[in-house]
Amino acid sequence: MFKLLHTAIMALLISGGSAFAAPTQAVSSSHTLAHTAGVSSGTLRLARTQARSELDEDQAEAFRASLRALYNIEPVAMSARQPTTEFSALHAEAHLAQQQLAGVVQHIADQHEITALIPSVKSKSRALDKLNGDLNGEVNRLTDLARTSLVADDVSSLIAAYQELTHHVEIVSLKNRFKQPKANGYRDLNLVVRLPVSGHLAEVQMHLSAISDVKNGPEHEIYQQIQQLQRQGDLSEFELNRITRLQNQSLQMYANAWHHHLNPAPTLLPEFAQTA
């Protein structure tokens, strides 16, 4: 392989030198020059094909390394509690925390050419609904008043962004849904982070773009249809079958989106293929 590349490079150098002296002649006499150097056009094509093959394999290995890194992000299950138990005070603190969080994630987005989605602080009405529902009135468990999302177009950018995030904040809770997706096939990194100085807890979701597009588009409509059916209670067999069909549609859409991000790798490691 080295001899082929060396020979090809020598031939290209010879043709390059001729190009400076007589550009029009260099193009028309490339085969003559290759033979003058003792290289056939078939050998040149073989050398270029092998060089491209090695480059493709390097890219594939880099992609597999990114997937390994993604799958190796371990869940964190610390007890995430806010520093205050008074709702009004916590909601007021969230506005300052949101500004700090926005600065951190926008810096990361600019560095790694990904997208930062920075909404406003969760409204008091929605926060109270959650507080009085899932959280049983425990104010210090409200960890998503300040929140943001990062959306990457590829796995390597997602990993780079995650690694930098760990240098700016403390990870106090982490769900790796790429490794263990939700029942409907949805995948992301869901984190609760502690901001420096204030100690306020905030939510960061890290997405791949194709999956995010499904979540915020057609799958959201399916989710609403399923919720509407389930709220009726005492469902008929026809309605239960409809829910199953909708769930299968959701699963397929997320599977297609995930495979979109697997396409850069011509050959996948077995563990990735099994969980895809």
So what's the pLDDT on residue 124? 96
So what's the pLDDT on residue 234? 84
Q: Where in the chain is the domain with CATH 3.30.460.10?
A: 75-209
* Ranges under pLDDT 70 in the chain: 1-55, 264-276
So what's the pLDDT on residue 2? 41
Rg (CA), the chain: 27
So what's the pLDDT on residue 230? 84
78 Cβ partners below 8 Å, 6+ apart?
172, 173
Query: How does 228-250 read in b/e, with b if 16+ C-beta sit within 10 Å?
Result: eeeeeeeeeeeeeeeeeebbeeb
So what's the pLDDT on residue 106? 97
DSSP letters, 226-272, are HHHHHHH-S--HHHHHHHHHHHHHHHHHHHHHHHHHHTT-SS--HHH
Q: Collapse the DSSP code of 196 into the 3-class scheme (helix H, G, I; strand E, B; otherwise coil) and give the result.
A: coil
* Cα dihedral 175, 179, 183, 188 in deg (nearest 10): 50
β-pairing, 170-176 vs 76-77, is antiparallel
Q: The pTM is what?
A: 0.74
So what's the pLDDT on residue 208? 97
Q: Side-chain half-sphere of 110: how many Cα atoms within 13 Å?
A: 6
Write phi, then psi, for 77 (nearest 5 degrees).
-125, 40
How large a percentage of the chain has pLDDT more than 90? 57
Q: Which of 128, 148, 161, 142 is nearest to 200 (CA)?
A: 142
So what's the pLDDT on residue 19? 36
Q: Which of 257, 240, 207, 225 is nearest to 105 (CA)?
A: 207
Q: Collapse the DSSP code of 48 into the 3-class scheme (helix H, G, I; strand E, B; otherwise coil) and give the result.
A: helix
So what's the pLDDT on residue 226? 85
CATH class of the domain whose range is 75-209: alpha beta
